Amino acid sequence: MSKIEQYTIIAFSENAVGLLNRITIIFTRRHVNIESLTVSESSLHGIHKFTIVVNTTQDMVQKITKQIEKQVEVLKAYYFTKDEIIFQEIALYKVSTEALLKSNMIETIVRESNARIIEITAEYTVIEKTGHEFETSKLFAELNKHGYVKQFTRSGRIAVTRSNAELLTEFLNARQQEQIELSRN
Nearer to another protein by Cβ, of 114 and 179: the residue is: 179
Task: Note the residues at the interface with another protein (CB under 8 A).
Answer: 13-14, 17-18, 21-22, 25, 29, 62-63, 66-67, 69-70, 72-75, 172, 175, 178-179, 182
Q: Report how far residue 154's alpha carbon sits from residue 175's, in angstroms, rounded to the nearest whole number.
A: 37
Quote the least distance from Cβ 48 to another protein, whole Å. Answer: 11
Nearer to another protein by Cβ, of 63 and 138: the residue is: 63
Nearer to another protein by Cβ, of 83 and 181: the residue is: 181
Report yes or no: 8 and 79 within 8 Å, Cβ to Cβ: yes
Q: Report how far residue 159's alpha carbon sits from residue 113's, in angstroms, rounded to the nearest whole number.
A: 21
Quote the least distance from Cβ 93 to another protein, whole Å. Answer: 36
Query: β-strand 5-13 against 48-56: which pairing, if any?
Result: antiparallel
Of the candidates 164, 163, 182, 162, the one whose C-alpha atom is nearest the C-alpha of residue 174 is: 182
The number of helices, as runs of H, and strands, as runs of E, in the chain is: 6, 9
Nearer to another protein by Cβ, of 42 and 136: the residue is: 42
Quote the least distance from Cβ 142 to another protein, whole Å. Answer: 44
Quote the least distance from Cβ 77 to another protein, whole Å. Answer: 11
